[in-house]
Chains A and B, each alone.
Chain A
Amino acid sequence: MYHLFILLCLLCPQDTVFKETAIDEVVVSSTVGSGKKAVSKGRVASIDEHLGQLSKVEMVRRGSYAWEPVVNNMATERVSTTIDGMKIFYACTDKMDPVTSYVESSNLQRISLNAGLDGNPQATGNIGGSIDLKLRRVGFDATPSEYNASAGFESNGNVQVYGADAAFSSHRFYTNFGLFYRHADNYKAGGGQQIDFSQFQKTNAFANIGWQPADDHVLEATIIYDIATDIGYPALTMDVKKAEGIITSLSYRQEHLSGLFHRWETKAYYNHITHNMDDTKRPDVVIHMDMPGESQTAGIYSLLQGAKGNHYLQLNYDAYYNTLFADMTMYPDGGQPMYMLTWPNVATFNTGLALTDDITLAPYHHIRLSAKGACQRQHINSDEGFHALSIYFPGMNQGNSRFVGRLAASYAYERSGWKVAFGTGYGTRAPTVTESYGYFLNNTFDQYDYIGNPHLKNESAIEINASAQLSTLNSQLSTKLEANAFFFQNYIIGRPDSRLSAMTLGAAGVKIYQNLKYAQIVNVSLSADYKPFHWLEWNNRITYSYGRESTNERLPLIAPLSYLGSLRFHWKNIEAEGGVRMAARNSHCGTAYGETPTSGYAVWHLNIGGHFLLGKIATDLHFGVENLFDRYYSTYSDWNHIPQKGRNIYINASFQL
């Protein structure tokens, strides 16, 4: 058994051995017919499209670019996003740049999601879940040399994607590096209406290097440079001139250690994000403003992995130091500029210890335990920003210290067609910088200016989850019922304070982040997959979610009842799919939080993909149509109801030599 563990660890060095029900993955660099969960657009699909494949993930869309992943109906504040275990924080006060926008599909091997409180070891604040973007490293002793190229085109919005990368590998050394470019013009909604300010372009370059000076001693380095320019946000009042990220890491890993732990990896990393908003192209700007933001994170983690008896253990120490700075200068016509700090250069130091234990009780019984405790210290480095916030919170401290932690336990049983799992967890999260110290951040969703609250308590949640899956008819029919529920205490959300005066011209008022006594989010999904023949698959999934808080109001941005259905055909190395995505009107939306209902819709798609050899070149081809009937619609998570793309025909190809 022990050897099996080592083998498994070598095969998937970054991964958890057991695939618990809570863990979902999408493979980014897969080929057609690999049988893995992947996107119909293949390798040229955007990160956002890949993320959308994860079963508990929805995307909040403010334009064509940089969608915000929402896990279990919880957005960035309650979701941890890491890149290969590295912490990274967005730099835009208006959430225009979720950290997933600073990587490209070509950087990644796969995206792994741990739903709920059972997060990956480096995750903190992950009540909804933790996303880890696994970088694509070619590794040692792989194909000595490999060259990839891909190109894609989409008719709606003239989307063009070009990428090329190369990989070289030996026993002592490997490297892979590449360049990726993406461009989009304004797209058209269903019916042909052009959506202005929905363009973007992005360039991404990456390089990974590995060196093994002696067997089992591995040094690895990564650098990613990502720059997006001229990004339109049709749902917002501003665009972005430039969003730039530099992500670097250096790690040292020892393999095949004797004793309890057989593997030890220590990684130091640094990333830097700059983000500049731009309103100069908008026709109806009341007052021109500059709003730059900057995020810097340096960190380290050290992960020990080992096995003893029927236990598989991971022990992780991590620490990071992040600074977030954002300011705003407004230029009234002929008047003196007005300046404020919207994130007052807040420094966060967080250090924690995490332990997970996967226990195989018997061949059919698994238990997984995970726990993490972290200490966090925050300080407002800008005195000016501190003095400004002190107006609203007289006597506030310039810093705060907190302890946050999480505990999760789950049990899984698998036998004779049945897979049953249930789990529970308890966790707390510290308020984000926006929630604690944000200063007049205008939210175009409800038209309120938001002010952070330095007196917020930690938010906590109890999670329970359960799933049951039954395979019948010789595994031809698989039915799965899955549910989870989160019971929050001190739920953090902005509440209007009518005594305060808004800053943004035309704003509805001011909201201050508050701890609500409690809130609940419940998610239920039922899926049925029927595979009558080896070449035909019929997949169905219905999901329903519910969110309510202690003043008896519905929470905003909770997904309505929706259905996903598809018919998939496999023939040799060709796959084809036709499907539909349907959602009911979200009539029970969070009206108290400024949300308005979206209508129901049904949107159809078709695609076909093939994998074959052109001489020595392995080729993947994809062709498809999205929104087949050119329907005009917007989903509940389209910010300010900006319409989705109308009919879109895409074709792309990737080549590997």
Chain B
Amino acid sequence: MKYKYHTYLWGLLFGVVSSACSGNDEPVPITIPSIDDEVCCTQDDEVKIGEILAGYKEVTGLSRQSAGSYTIKVYSRKASLYVGYNDLYFAVEKTESGRHVKDFAISDLSPLMDMGMMQHSTPIANQFAQIESFPIYHTWVAPLMAGEWTLPFSYRIKDESGTLPGGPVTIEAAPEGQAWIKSFKWNGATYYLTLASPQDLKTGVNTLCAYISKKADDATQPYLPASEEFTVDIYPTMPDMGNHTSPNNEPLTLQKDGSYQGQLNLTMTGVWDIHLHVKDAIGNTVAGGEELSELYWTIAI
């Protein structure tokens, strides 16, 4: 209903503008579609895309890179990224008109931190997922530490391809006292436990989403989700309340999309430690332990 209304408005606006230009007595000119209309979204879609992206900010240093006559925009929850999980939304605009481009793809996101002596990458998603049927692609990145990173990536827009340097991007530390990414070692490899969307957790029953990534043999290559299957028991506690905990939490288990999901119950707002007990496919302890394990995320809601 809402979108129909917008269509009428646009139509009305168009009518007013065209009649103002043409005068009352002259015939209405036939509009010939420009090249924009072929590659770009309809006005209806533009409205919807605007609504989807309205809740996000362009990432400073990463967004607004030029690719020919196009501009690639990258959005996240805030203009700066945090240590730990960050959503990234990629969209491409025709620079001249600012209209969104339908046909594009992003790939090979390769975050890198150059510490002089050494370089390393960090956990990322293994896919770019389209948001509904709109030309917006979602992925995530979980920088391991604060500082300057580059997030280069490849693109294809219609028939043009290329690579962009992506940065430098300043990664901020997680809000004071919070920790959204943790690591453990198993069978000689390093794994990372990334808590997804920690800012979305609320009082009540939450679906907890996380990723387990494996450090690549070449540390400069992105750390992709581990191919091994784990189960992670969770035990949330409030350190300020004598380790008060909640009942009916459910362990994180592997989902078809490669994420791990479980149920996290938070009885009130405040600081929570989510203690983790990682087990392999047959239930042997891999890392952490029962109840107050030393392996835990810290969140504040």
Contact = CB atoms under 8 A, between A and B. Distances in A.
A503 B268 CA distance: 10
Given A340-B203, A387-B203, 8 more contacts: A287-B240, A330-B240, A336-B271, A338-B241, A339-B203, A386-B204, A390-B205, A499-B247
A387 B248 contact: no
B29 to A, nearest CB: 53
Interface of A: 287, 330, 332, 335-340, 384, 386-388, 390-392, 394, 440, 499-503, 505-506
22 contacts: A287-B240, A330-B240, A330-B241, A332-B240, A336-B177, A338-B240, A338-B271, A339-B269, A339-B270, A340-B269, A386-B204, A387-B205, A388-B267, A388-B268, A391-B248, A394-B205, A394-B248, A440-B267, A501-B245, A503-B244, A503-B268, A506-B242
Contact of A338 (B204, B243, B248, B268): B268
B245 A338 contact: no
Interface in B24-80: none
Contact of A392 (B241, B247, B270, B300): B247
B270 A391 contact: no
Contacts of B269: 337-340
Contacts of A287: 240-241
Tell me the dominant secondary structure on chain A's binding face.
loop
B268 A387 contact: no
A501 B248 contact: no
Nearest to A333: B240
A340 B267 contact: yes
B175 to A, nearest CB: 9
A501 B242 CA distance: 10
A302 B244 CA distance: 50
Contacts of B266: 391
Contacts of A332: 240-241, 270
A469 B241 CA distance: 58
A385 to B, nearest CB: 8
Contact of A340 (B243, B247, B268): B268
A191 B16 CA distance: 93
A287 B268 CA distance: 15
A338 B266 CA distance: 11
B242 A505 contact: yes
Nearest to A383: B204
Contacts of B240: 287, 330, 332, 335, 338
Contacts of A501: 243-247
B17 to A, nearest CB: 45
Contacts of A384: 202-204
B265 interface: yes
Interface string B253-282: 000000000000111111100000000000
A370 B43 CA distance: 70
B266 to A, nearest CB: 8
Contacts of A502: 244
Nearest to A331: B240
A390 B263 CA distance: 12
Contacts, number: 75
B238 interface: yes
Nearest to B241: A503
Contacts of B245: 501
Interface string B275-301: 000000000000000000000000010
Contacts of A505: 241-242
Contact of A330 (B177, B204, B267, B270): B270
A440 B241 CA distance: 13
Contacts of A506: 242
Contacts of B246: 391, 501
A452 B248 CA distance: 17
A496 to B, nearest CB: 14
Nearest to B270: A338
A336 B205 contact: no
B247 to A, nearest CB: 6
A305 to B, nearest CB: 50
Interface string B163-198: 000000000000001000000000000000000000
Interface string B231-252: 0000000101111111110000
Contact of B204 (A337, A390, A500): A390
A237 to B, nearest CB: 15
A330 B239 CA distance: 13
The 10 closest A-B pairs by CB, nearest first: A387-B204, A338-B270, A340-B268, A332-B240, A391-B265, A501-B245, A339-B269, A335-B240, A505-B242, A503-B244
Contacts of A394: 205, 248
Contact of B202 (A387, A440, A499): A387
A394 B268 CA distance: 16
Nearest to B238: A338
A500 B245 CA distance: 8
Contacts of A392: 247-248
A387 B268 CA distance: 10
Contacts of B243: 501
A52 to B, nearest CB: 39
B268 A339 contact: yes
B241 A391 contact: no
Interface in B219-238: 238
Which residue, B202, B238, B240, B246, has most C-beta atoms of chain A within 10 A? Answer: B240
Contacts of B177: 336
A501 to B, nearest CB: 4
A506 B241 CA distance: 10
B204 A336 contact: no
Nearest to A499: B247
Nearest to B272: A338
Contact of A391 (B205, B238, B244): B205
Contacts of A386: 204
A388 B203 contact: yes
B115 to A, nearest CB: 32
Contacts of A503: 241, 244, 267-268
A330 B270 CA distance: 9
A336 B270 contact: yes
Nearest to B265: A391
Contacts of B203: 339-340, 384, 387-388
A392 B203 CA distance: 12
A338 B240 CA distance: 9
B66 to A, nearest CB: 42
A389 B163 CA distance: 51
A340 B204 CA distance: 10
Interface in B114-166: none
Nearest to A389: B204
A384 B266 CA distance: 11
A264 to B, nearest CB: 49
Nearest to A500: B247
Contacts of B202: 384, 387
B179 to A, nearest CB: 14
Residue picked from B204, B247, B267, most chain A C-beta under 10 Å: B267
A454 to B, nearest CB: 14
A499 B267 CA distance: 15
A322 B130 CA distance: 48
A336 B265 contact: no
A386 B177 CA distance: 28
A332 B244 CA distance: 14
Contacts of A390: 204-205
A440 B268 CA distance: 10
A388 B247 contact: no
Among A338, A392, A500, A503, which residue has the most Cβ atoms of chain B within 10 A? A338
B204 A391 contact: yes
A505 B240 CA distance: 9
Contacts of B247: 391-392, 499-501
A297 to B, nearest CB: 27
A501 B245 CA distance: 6
Contacts of A335: 240, 270-271
A339 B267 CA distance: 9
B270 A388 contact: no
Nearest to B246: A391
A290 to B, nearest CB: 14
